[in-house]
Amino acid sequence: MKKSFVAVPTGHPFPLYNLPYGVFDHQGKRSIGVAIGDYVLNLTLIEEKGLLQIPALVGKKVFNQQSLNTFLRCGKACWHAVRQFLIHLLEENTPDLRDNMALRSEVLIPQNQVLMQMPVQVGGYTDFYSSIEHATNIGKLFRDPTNPLLPNWRHIPVGYDGRASAIVVSGTKIKRPKGQLKIGEEAPICAPTRKFDTEIELGFIMGTGNDLGSPISINDAHDHVFGAVMLLDWSARDIQQWEYVPLGPFLGKNFGTTISPWVVTLEALQPFSVQGPVQDPQPLPYLQKQNINFDIDLHLEIKTPKMDAYQEIAHTNYKYMYWDIAQQVAHHTVNGCNLESGDILGTGTISGPTPDSYGSLIELTWNGANPIHLNSGEERTYLNDNDSMRVIAWTKKDNLCIGFGNAEATVLAAK
């Protein structure tokens, strides 16, 4: 296995075989780069200097852009060629960049000197509901404990159109939303949410889309997906509870959604693919294919103002997901709906089978009935103002380990 000449400590999330893409500001300029160890390789500069030796990209400006969208539109063969080029450029036996100290100091920037931005311009955001454990938990809490899954759930990767404008990059503070709450038999009031929650998800980023009226078949679906980020789906459970019938979640969700800044490519994730759960009943033919998940550990952590460090409150794994990304893409487009480069498809809350693997506070505290006890001596059911949440994700196999970095945000008080 090759190594980079850039130092990457064992267990670091960004070794040579990860190379996640991101958009950053450095010295007043917005650029695109890949992460390698604690550095970011500035692809905007590499391209500008004519060093990007990819035939399909000669004379093009795919990295001198404000977002990854132009690069995404180049398609899978191009993404692969750039990845091969970058692995070669950065590996320890390639002298071109390694021995050119002037160029190195220009194009390899310490990550602590850059400010990460939204990696993509998100035109469309769809949020699925594809964890059978999560859907079962929510069904038990809100509908029927003895029959929690709705009849369509095992037939359809249920999802809804979300609000793309409210997606923000990790670190952006999220203000506690106001909205209508209906408490017991009282008349509804307008007040800050009392049930500020978050859900751990992955967000898959569409690389190439489809024309309106032309579905993406399940066999082609992976070719259209560029990569994935972590996603924190902030939720005001009391607003959601009162508003969501019959048209689904709206203001309970669209006040903010946090994503991690580094997009881990599907190609980098391939070695970590695992078979998904057995689906019963067998899905309809347009959803049939060997069910491929990825073995990605996700850790949910909290830090209150009284705490010095984050404390883990749950860990789950993407491998439990009932509906996979190929099925989500095939379903989303079977009616002809057009996906576009940069669209994000959220997996839905990733919950595992045991109570310590639930991916949201509503599940972890069973809607507030079982508070979480923190090392600080505090308790939490839902989030207080100034609490911070963080998610960290990793995948490991044999000697290879790559990570997503982290995604975090702090709750601001309502005005």
What x-and-dash track marks residues 341-360 binding a copy of itself by CB under 8 A? Answer: --x-----------------
Q: Which is nearer to a copy of itself, 286 or 366 (CB)?
A: 286
What token pair was written down for 89? 């450029």
Q: Quick check: 144 binds a copy of itself (CB under 8 A)?
A: no
Q: What part of residues 162-191 is at the interface with a copy of itself (CB under 8 A)? A: 162-166, 168, 175, 177-180, 182, 187-190
What token pair was written down for 199? 């859900």
Q: Which is nearer to a copy of itself, 2 or 155 (CB)?
A: 155
8 A C-beta contact, residue 267 and residue 80 = yes
Which phi and psi (to 5°) does residue 317 adopt? Answer: -150, 140
CB of 6 to a copy of itself, least distance (A): 36
CB of 82 to a copy of itself, least distance (A): 26
Part of the chain binding a copy of itself (CB under 8 A), chosen from 12-20, 78-86, 108-116, 244-252: 244-252
Selected binder of a copy of itself within 335, 369, 398, 399 (CB under 8 A): 335
What token pair was written down for 105? 């100091």
Q: Quick check: 73 binds a copy of itself (CB under 8 A)?
A: no
CB of 329 to a copy of itself, least distance (A): 13
Point out the catalytic residue in the list 12, 26, 134, 332.
Answer: 134
Strand partners, 199: 360
DSSP label of 98: H
Q: Quick check: 334 binds a copy of itself (CB under 8 A)?
A: yes
By three-state DSSP, how is residue 301 classified? strand
CB of 129 to a copy of itself, least distance (A): 6
Part of the chain binding a copy of itself (CB under 8 A), chosen from 10-18, 105-113, 145-153, 375-383: 145-153
Secondary-structure percent of the chain, ordered helix, strand, coil, rounded to 5: 25, 30, 45
- Would you call 134 a catalytic residue per the annotation? yes
**Residue 193, CB-side half-sphere exposure with 13 Å CA sphere:** 28
Part of the chain binding a copy of itself (CB under 8 A), chosen from 13-21, 78-86, 237-245, 375-383: 237-245
Selected binder of a copy of itself within 41, 57, 90, 251 (CB under 8 A): 251
Dihedral angle over CA of 299, 300, 301, 304, nearest 10: 180
Selected binder of a copy of itself within 3, 85, 123, 304 (CB under 8 A): 123
Q: Where are the beta strands (DSSP E) in 182-262?
A: 189-192, 196-197, 200-206, 225-233, 235-236, 257-259
Q: Residue 350, class by beta-carbon neighbours within 10 Å (0-12 exposed, 13-18 middle, 19+ buried)?
A: buried
Q: Quick check: 56 binds a copy of itself (CB under 8 A)?
A: no
CB of 402 to a copy of itself, least distance (A): 31
Q: Quick check: 150 binds a copy of itself (CB under 8 A)?
A: yes
The residues, any chain, with a CB within 8 Å of residue 32's CB and separated by 6 or more, are: 21, 22, 23, 24, 42, 43, 44, 63, 65, 68, 71
Q: Which is nearer to a copy of itself, 85 or 250 (CB)?
A: 250
Distance, in Å, from the CA atom of 255 to the CA atom of 178, rounded to the nearest integer, reads 9
Selected binder of a copy of itself within 337, 372, 374, 400 (CB under 8 A): 337
CA 392 to the chain's CA centroid: 11
Q: What is the DSSP string of 336-371?
A: -PPP-TT-EEE------SSGGG-SBHHHHTTTTTSP
Q: Which is nearer to a copy of itself, 228 or 239 (CB)?
A: 239
Catalytic residues: 134
Binding region for a copy of itself (CB under 8 A): 123-124, 129, 150-152, 155-156, 158-166, 168, 175, 177-180, 182, 187-190, 209, 212-213, 215, 236, 239, 242-252, 254-256, 281, 284-286, 331-332, 334-340, 343, 412
